Amino acid sequence: MNIHFRNAEALMEGISLVSSDLGITVCSNAPVNVTVTETEEDVLSVTLKENDARITYGGGKARFFRGLSMLVCWLKDGVKEKSALEHPLFTMNGAMLDVSRNAVANLPTLKFWLRSMARMGMNTFMLYTEDTYEIEGRPYFGYMRGRYTREEIREIDAYAQTLGIELIPCIQFLGHLDTHLRWGASGAYRDTERVLLVGAEETYKLIDDMLSAIADCFTSRRIHVGMDETFGLGTGSYLKKNGYRDHREIYFEHLQRVTKMAVDRGFRPMMWSDMFFRMYGEQLPDYGDYDPRTELPEDIGKFVPEGMQQVFWDYYNPEESFYAVNLDKHDLLGKNTVFAGGVWMFTGHCPHYSRSLRNSIPALEACRKKGTKEIFCTVWHNGAESSLVLALAGLAWYADYDYTGRYDEDSVRTCFRYSCDADYDDFLKTEQPEYPYDGDVGISRSVLYNDPLLGLWDRHIAKMQAGDYYRSITPSLTGIGEGFFAPAFRVIEKFSSLLENKSDFGVRLKTAYDTGDRDTLASLAEECDLILSRIRALRDAHRESWMLYNKPFGWEVLDIRYGGMLMRFDTVKLRIGQYLRGEIERLEELEAERLRFDCKEEDAPIDGWSMWNGYRGLSTAGIL
């Protein structure tokens, strides 16, 4: 499709980046003429009448690219006359991508994210880098983790700017640094295995080097400094050096110092706010992050350094009132709170769209009503198996809500088509392997890593018809997903195919052993070959997907997990054969009683929090 643009000189470089995705060619004698007008008002207006179109935008280039994507889709659909007028709710709306928990997205993938987000109209992108960026003179920082070089970050930064997206560093100045603190080279500034040693000058030399590296790579002067989940602060080397001190005092001391360091460097810092709430609410029974029962002191603001913006994160609660109450409480910590929701990608192979949507829309409603102006959507990996590109369908909720002021599934479906040329409904199908029972807690990781001989999760699987469920959904996952997303879809398909046999194998094996059904035992030994072939098929599809989207570092973890499953089923086949041939008298693992994994009463409901998120606990009761 040939298009001629008028008054778009400042946008032409960005247009060239998205033109291939949109399927357009820019030329002077094109049949379609698009007049572009930039205005001071934060608005997006798109009009089409025959072959003449106008895009009026204000508030940044990303607004324009949303309008262009909308217009191109109209033209492809044969629309002759149409108009749209949108007034965005938020001045900042984008995503934070976890590139620290094994999956470090490569540059082509990051560029795809940026183009897709620009076409949605999103204007902010954060790279969550714990130790996956380069610091000169510190070779163990990000060692063998796939860290980005300075040149790579500069390239992505420039690419983002061309599309009207601000690339903001999202790092850590206190906790969540265990992958770096594991090395002996970090001993001078290690408090615990994951928290920096407050007060040590070596700690602030490290932070100064962090700021230097970030300042050298990113154009933005905004910076997210983390400071969340600093569990164990002051209980390791700090305790040995200084004796006991209230962790709140330690935290506030460090916060003051790092804020000054960042501000002195010309940065405008922001931080996760959860620790303020935990400090004053953790004594509550069954405390959860941002527990609404938490009472913050009226003068807590004195502990928040001037210039430090707060980021309220949550993706666990479906009640609008939860978000509204906590947004009000954040006023005690300072004005202009940022809200961070999320698309659940961190519990296994599959997205959790239903849960993510159920929690995101009430949060966005609360933000709209409270006048929150800056939001973003987190996409955590947390060392899971997921292909994070599948989260783009969830980003469409945040983008479309911003521009329309409401959630409407048809509108989201259209937005996603505009931005990614993909079928939104196909993406929603990829969560199906999570729910082989009538609950709303995803459990696919549990049925995948449950050991076939030890059966640590057998008592739970026995209550559901898991194999039948997976056989019913695999056909719907076969042959969907196209283009850049296709390898991620193939992983979900092969995953479901494996679970047709793997999910309840241990239950069937123990039942056959307990009842002395030797014919079924022989059949299960043969089924091991089918399961082994499907593990390999999943591993191969997953490896292809990983190597397309990510740097190769981190894949070794999944080789270990898949390799463990392969070896276990090799052992299962061997031991069944030995038993049937009379070479061994019994299978001791199968004679052991199966207990509930969560240690609860028999009739207690399944609680996913204690089950689906830990590979080690599911695969062995021993030491891994």
Phi then psi for 127, rounded to 5 degrees?
-100, 110
Task: Classify 222 in phi/psi space as left (phi over 0), alpha (psi -120 to 50) or beta.
Answer: beta
Mean per-residue pLDDT, 247-261? 98
> Which neighbouring-strand residues pair with 167?
125
Examine the pLDDT at 131 and tell me if it is beyond 80: yes
pLDDT given for residue 440 in this prediction:
72
Question: Given a cut of 60, is residue 407 above it in pLDDT?
Answer: yes
d(CA 32, CA 69): 14
Tens digits of per-residue pLDDT, 486-506? 999 999 999 999 999 999 999
pLDDT at 71 over 90: yes
State how far the Cα of 94 lies from the Cα of 107, in Å rounded to an integer: 18
Average pLDDT over residues 78-100: 97
Give me the helices (H) in 465-554, please.
Answer: 466-477, 486-502, 505-515, 518-549
> What is the CB neighbour count within 10 angstroms for residue 337?
24
Confidence of residue 613 (pLDDT cuts 50, 70, 90): low
609 pLDDT higher than 60: no
* C-beta of residue 134 within 8 angstroms of C-beta of residue 142: yes
Q: Could you report the per-residue pLDDT of 341-390, keeping only the tens digit for each?
A: 999 999 999 999 999 999 999 999 999 999 999 999 999 999 999 999 99
For the chain, give the mean pLDDT. 96
Q: Give residue-wise pLDDT tens across range 119-129.
A: 999 999 999 99
CA 564 to chain centre: 25
Homologous superfamily of the 2-86 domain (CATH): N-acetyl-beta-d-glucosaminidase (3.30.160.230)
Q: What percent of the chain has pLDDT over 90?
A: 92
What was the pLDDT predicted at 410? 97
Reduce the DSSP state of residue 502 to 3 states and report it: helix
Distance CA 398, CA 367 (A): 12
Give the pLDDT mean for 283-300.
Answer: 95
Q: Which CATH class name applies to 92-429?
A: alpha beta
What CATH fold (topology level) applies to the domain 432-619?
A: Four Helix Bundle (Hemerythrin (Met), subunit A) (1.20.120)
Tens-digit pLDDT profile for residues 420-441: 999 999 999 999 999 888 767 7
Contact 442, 431 (CB under 8 A): yes
pLDDT digits (tens, 9 = 90+) for 26-44: 998 889 999 999 999 999 9
Tens of pLDDT along 563-600?
A: 999 999 999 999 999 999 999 999 999 999 999 888 88
Residue ranges, CATH 3.20.20.80, the chain: 92-429
Residue 452 has pLDDT above 70, yes or no: yes
Find the mean pLDDT for residues 56-80. Answer: 97
Per-residue burial over 171-192, b if 16 or more Cβ lie within 10 Å, else e, is bbbbbbbebbbeeeebeebbbb
Residue ranges of the chain assigned to CATH 3.30.160.230: 2-86
Question: Where are the CATH 1.20.120.670 domain residues in the chain?
Answer: 432-619
pLDDT tens sequence across 140-198:
999 999 999 999 999 999 999 999 999 999 999 999 999 999 999 999 999 999 999 99
**Sign of dihedral through CA atoms 602, 604, 605, 609?**
negative
The CA distance from 214 to 216, in Å, is: 5
SS3 566: helix
